[in-house]
A and B are shown apart, each in its own frame.
Chain A
Amino acid sequence: MDDRKIIDMYFERNQDAVMYTKQKYGKYCYKIAFNILRSFEDSSECENDTYIETWNAIPPHRPNIFSAFLAKITRRLSINKLRNNTAKKRLSNDSVCFDELSECISDKSEVYDSIEVEELKNIIEKFLKKRSNDERNIFICRYFYGDSIKDISKQFKFSESKVKTTLHRSRKELKQHLVKEGVFSE
């Protein structure tokens, strides 16, 4: 079913909207959750929570790109769950790819902490828009969707080493960009 029609159903408060969302994007949401959480049970829970949150958000919100809207919700819920689990010591450190992002940040946390997330988002977007299409898409697949190197190499038909190199370069350049934008000093 067309996304527009599914969204219309949410606006009509037609509960079939959830069914159609699950039918079309269930696997997609689950994959995002699983990339982050690495747990079947937790991922299913996040997928289901995504439907609830979508139901509550639409209306009034009308997403422009429904798949991206769902992805954002799933990712946020999954990360929150991951943080909860980590706090409860229920999770091993190798559960996520996000550790790699440590390379992009400074030890001078007092400077970095002063920036708002929204402002940081704008800076990252500016950075991404300057990248080539491939670099940008690989970065997003890895650090937004949490895709594995193997999955990314399959999707883009690159070797795994090329994906790793591209990501390494992107992280390095992101750090330089953050310094340039005054997020922190080197």
Chain B
Amino acid sequence: MNKDKLIDAIGLIDDELIFKAKNTKPRTSAYKSIIAAVLIITLIPAALFGGMSLFGRFMYAGSSGLSLEYEFNILELSSLCRSSFDVELNSDVGINPNSLSNNLGANPIEIRHANEMRVIFTTQDGIFEFYKYDYDYIESSYSLKKMGLPSFNQGDSTTLIQIDEYGENALLVSSENMSQTGADISYKNLNFVRNEMTDIEKSDALAFDAYDLSENRYINTSKDFVSNTDWVSSKMAVYYDENGKKVESFIRVPKDEEKGYIIGNAELVEVREDESYKIYDLFKQIEFEDD
């Protein structure tokens, strides 16, 4: 009976202690640190003179405080990337494999973009995850089952707008404006998004992805897809949203079909006079009348 009481008492200890016991990152052992130091000394000159190899970048990452475990897991993860994407890994990137397995439950099949404070990738079921890295842990900030426009690039900057799974909160991220929740999105930024969206229609350089809610499938809209001749080029369509508001939107129309897909439409985010906003499904099948 005495032992039982002790066992029961241990079962009541503080939640934080229980949590930390399973979520404390093991320290890098000393010999690994020594190996890392040797490799860094060897590789940094090569990186400086010959352009950094990918491996060199990982080792360089070591000098900024990342552990070897992180570096090798980045390497493993990068091997999962699609070759069509140029994934940039630099000294500020790290991915905690435990966080990945805990939060995703699925292997990432694609890393969209990885630099500085964020890593964006796609899972097999089309869920995007956004991670913020601060050297100690990676926080899963948003689970994005209902897709917004995932991301697109302009020069060196990255801007993305994402909608959470309840369609209630938006996250706008750019190099100038790292992280803002929906309420803080300024009209200027929305204009920027809007302009970029328009450019997608014209430029081969931009690509975007979408999640087809109606068919529950993930679609990668690469530039090849955009120029696919099976699709009539984009046209404006007018439709009414669920609140009866008239919306003008770019759509893409499969040949010989009477349904079109709203892709990257300019009305993705509506800003009201009081500066509140409303977000529509990005990828939505609608009926339209062909003129």
Interface residues of A (CB under 8 A from B): 1-2, 23-24, 63-65, 67-69, 71-72, 75-76, 79, 83, 98-99, 101-102, 104-106, 109, 112-113, 115, 117-118, 120-121, 123-125, 128-129, 133, 136-137, 140-141, 143-145, 155-157
- Interface pairs (25), CB distance under 8 Å: A1-B165, A65-B18, A65-B19, A72-B15, A76-B8, A83-B4, A99-B3, A101-B7, A105-B3, A112-B5, A115-B5, A117-B5, A117-B8, A120-B9, A121-B10, A124-B10, A137-B20, A137-B21, A140-B13, A140-B17, A141-B21, A141-B22, A144-B21, A145-B22, A155-B26
The list of the 7 closest CB pairs from A to B, nearest first, reads A68-B15, A140-B21, A120-B9, A68-B18, A137-B21, A121-B12, A65-B15
In the complex, the chain B residue whose C-beta lies closest to that of A120 is B9
Give B126-170 as 1s and 0s: 1 = Cβ < 8 Å from A's Cβ atoms.
000000000000001001000000000000000000000100000
The complex places the Cα of A105 from the Cα of B143 at a distance, in Å, of 47
Q: How large is the interface on B (under 10, 10 to 19, 20 to 34, 35 or more residues)?
A: 20 to 34
Once the chains are docked, how many angstroms separate the CA of A112 from the CA of B16?
A: 27
Are A98 and B29 in contact, with the CB atoms below 8 A? Answer: no
- Not counting A98-B3, A99-B3, a sample of 18 additional A-B residue pairs whose C-beta atoms are within 8 angstroms of each other reads A68-B15, A68-B19, A69-B15, A72-B18, A75-B11, A102-B3, A104-B6, A121-B12, A125-B17, A129-B17, A133-B20, A133-B24, A137-B24, A140-B17, A140-B18, A144-B10, A144-B18, A144-B21
Known contacts A23-B105, A72-B12, A144-B10; decide if A136 and B5 are in contact (CB<8 Å).
Answer: no
In the complex, the answer to whether B13 meets A112 with C-beta atoms within 8 Å is no
A76 to B20, CA, bound (A): 19
The verdict on A79 contacting B7 (CB below 8 Å), with A140-B13, A144-B18 known, is yes
Whether A128 pairs with B17 at a CB distance below 8 angstroms is yes
Q: Which residues of chain A are within 8 angstroms of B26 by Cβ–Cβ distance?
A: 155-157
Tell me the minimal C-beta distance from A50 to chain B in angstroms.
Answer: 13
Cα distance A76–B1 when bound, in Å? 16
Please tell me if B243 contacts chain A, counting CB pairs below 8 Å: no
**Using Cβ atoms and an 8 Å threshold, which residues of chain B touch A104?**
6
Q: Which residues of B contact A71 (CB under 8 A)?
A: 18
- A65-B19, A68-B16, A136-B21 are known contacts. Are A124 and B2 too (CB-CB below 8 A)? no
Separation in Å of the A32 CB from the closest CB of chain B?
10
**Is the beta-carbon distance between B9 and A121 smaller than 8 angstroms?**
yes
Given contacts A101-B6, A106-B2, A157-B26, contact A67 B19 (CB under 8 A): yes
When chains A and B are docked, how far (Å) is the Cα of A71 from the Cα of B5? Answer: 18
